């Protein structure tokens, strides 16, 4: 089950703290752009969590850039559930949520290191293409920027 998160819980804080700790080992601090829990609960961000029973297994968020453009943030799947399609389902859900609200473009920043190759592959399969830095980002050898238009019809992770 995927649901919108509006309040923090100890499980969510632990999950997102682990996410930030994983990312901090992959690049210099100035190249880590993960949002902390407070930033993820800001009104300009829509944070979602996926649960299997009561266990938190995945997160994903959409941060408003402008009325029609949002940024994909904080995509993380618990290591025990990676490779099982959980991230794909979260991405499908986020794209559909954005499309239903009239968003026409989703962009993202992810790492350029090997650790992030599975994420980049997922995003490519979902129709994202590399692009120039967007919003407040600058060129960074540790970052890959990607973007995708949302079609005028319901979206799935694999574009028609």
Interval 10-31: pLDDT, tens: 888 888 888 777 766 676 667 6
Rounded Cα distance, 150 and 114, in Å:
28
Q: What is the pTM of this model?
A: 0.88
Q: Which helix (H) or strand (E) holds 155?
A: none
Q: How far apart are CA 148 and CA 58, in angstroms?
A: 22
| Phi-psi label, residue 63: left if phi above 0, alpha if psi -120 to 50, beta otherwise | beta
Q: What is the pLDDT of residues 49-66, one digit of tens each?
A: 999 999 999 999 999 999
pLDDT in tens, 93-152: 999 999 999 999 999 999 999 999 999 999 999 999 999 999 999 999 999 999 999 976
What's the pLDDT at 17? 84
pLDDT band at 160 (very low <50, low <70, confident <90, very high): very low
The CB-side HSE value for 93 (13 A sphere, CA atoms) comes to: 20
For 157, the 3-state DSSP assignment is coil
Which domains can be identified in the chain, with CATH numbers? Answer: 2-149 (3.40.630.30)
């Amino acid at each position: 089950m995927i649901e919108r998160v509006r309040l923090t819980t100890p499980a969510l804080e632990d999950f997102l703290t682990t996410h930030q700790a994983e990312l901090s080992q992959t690049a210099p601090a100035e190249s880590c752009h993960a949002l902390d829990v407070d930033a993820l609960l800001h009104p300009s961000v829509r944070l979602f969590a996926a649960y299997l029973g009561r266990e938190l297994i995945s997160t994903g968020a959409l941060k408003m850039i402008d009325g029609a453009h949002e940024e994909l943030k904080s995509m993380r799947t618990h290591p025990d559930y990676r490779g099982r399609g959980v991230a794909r389902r979260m991405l499908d859900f986020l794209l559909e949520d954005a499309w239903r609200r009239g968003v026409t473009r989703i962009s993202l920043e992810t790492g350029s290191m090997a650790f992030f190759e599975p994420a980049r592959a997922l995003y490519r399969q979902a129709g994202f293409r590399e692009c120039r830095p967007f919003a407040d980002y600058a060129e960074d050898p540790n970052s890959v920027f990607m973007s995708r238009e949302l079609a005028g019809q319901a979206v799935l992770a694999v574009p028609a």
